[in-house]
């Protein structure tokens, strides 16, 4: 079956968010964009400063940049923004003292992934005392963050091949929140992190990732159907640590009180219990109706999705 803007278009909002529930979906991109040099720079601040002037700070990030990606370090409150801007290839670029970074970064050799993450994982495996772990963690965070604002480079995105490990040995927990509720959720997240550190000796040594999702009503299960969204995506270096699971379950509770929506297939402990509660009921019903039409024998409705949508089936 062909589903496109000209054929069977009524199925498009469902097929755009099928998550494997509609069988094998082959997608073809027909719009090809010319590659442009991508300039990357960094900003470092404190989360409290950013939230105190949230609207202004947000506009200052979004205005001059094409892409922005953030990292929030829970133990220090440090906030790092990676700012990306596509450049006109016809305009000569001025000489830069950090131009030597261009060929390194184009090969996807990254400070965070190739240096900081292995160090954090090694320290976590040693299980130092709470005080020592905090000192070591702060040192590993503070030193790179003193350097990174001076780092800027320009790459051709087509030269940068990203190879993902089959088993990266770290875990993330991807929730998004309406922009209007994001600051309150950040405060609740930091309070939760401090409580686990003080009461359980549990520290989040890796940053929580922050990214932006524009409002999207073209997909029935889009997490941004109702508003522009911002992510809080905590990372942890040991997925099998039972305290990490306990933290995630506590995170679920506060996320649900701040308008959060978990990623449907990458945040299992959150999605299976909370996605259907957090998402628009009418959109879920419409998606499941279309899904039933295309898969009347429920061949592609596995137990995970049966549990998730139990209240609608």
Residue 40: name the closest of 84, 92, 106 by CA.
84
Tens-digit pLDDT profile for residues 228-243 = 999 999 999 888 899 9
Phi-psi region of 201 (alpha: psi -120 to 50; beta: other; left: phi over 0): left
pLDDT of the residue at 217: 94
Highest mean pLDDT pick, 112-116, 192-196, 264-268: 192-196
| Torsions phi, psi for 69 (to 5 deg) | -135, 130
Q: What is the pLDDT of residue 194?
A: 95
Task: Sketch out the chain's domains with CATH numbers.
Answer: 35-296 (3.40.462.10)
Whole-angstrom distance, CA of residue 23 vs CA of residue 20: 6
> Residue 81: CB partners within 8 Å, gap ≥ 6?
42, 43, 44, 45, 61, 68, 69, 70
Higher-pLDDT residue of 166 and 234 is: 234
Task: State the chain's mean pLDDT as an integer.
Answer: 84
Q: What is the pLDDT of residues 177-230, one digit of tens each?
A: 999 999 999 999 999 999 999 999 898 988 899 999 999 999 999 999 999 999
């Amino acid at each position: 079956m062909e589903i496109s803007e000209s054929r069977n278009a009524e199925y498009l909002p469902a097929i755009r968010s099928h998550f494997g529930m509609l069988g094998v979906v082959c997608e073809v991109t027909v719009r090809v964009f010319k590659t442009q040099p991508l300039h990357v720079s960094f900003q470092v601040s404190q989360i409290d400063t950013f939230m105190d002037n949230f609207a202004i700070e947000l506009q200052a990030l979004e205005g001059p940049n094409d892409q922005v990606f953030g990292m929030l370090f829970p133990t220090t409150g440090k906030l790092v923004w990676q700012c990306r801007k596509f450049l006109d290839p016809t305009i000569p670029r001025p000489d830069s003292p950090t131009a030597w970074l261009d060929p390194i970064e184009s090969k996807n050799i990254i400070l965070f992934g190739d240096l900081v993450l292995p160090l954090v994982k090694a320290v976590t495996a040693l299980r130092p005392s709470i005080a020592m772990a905090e000192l070591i963690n702060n040192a590993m965070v503070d030193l790179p963050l003193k350097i990174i604002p001076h780092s800027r480079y320009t790459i051709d995105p087509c030269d940068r091949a990203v190879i993902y490990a089959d088993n990266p040995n770290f875990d993330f927990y991807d929730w998004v929140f309406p922009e209007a509720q994001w600051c309150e959720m950040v405060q609740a997240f930091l309070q939760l992190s401090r409580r686990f550190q003080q009461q359980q000796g549990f520290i989040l040594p890796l940053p929580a990732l922050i990214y932006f999702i524009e409002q999207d009503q073209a997909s029935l299960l889009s997490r941004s159907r109702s508003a522009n969204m911002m992510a809080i995506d905590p990372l942890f270096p040991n997925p099998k640590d039972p305290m990490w699971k306990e933290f995630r379950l506590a995170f679920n509770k506060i996320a649900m009180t701040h308008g959060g929506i978990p990623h449907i297939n990458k945040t299992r402990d959150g999605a299976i219990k909370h996605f259907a509660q957090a998402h628009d009921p009418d959109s879920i019903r419409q998606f499941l109706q279309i899904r039933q039409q295309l898969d009347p024998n429920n061949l592609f409705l596995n137990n995970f999705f049966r549990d998730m949508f139990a209240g609608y089936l």
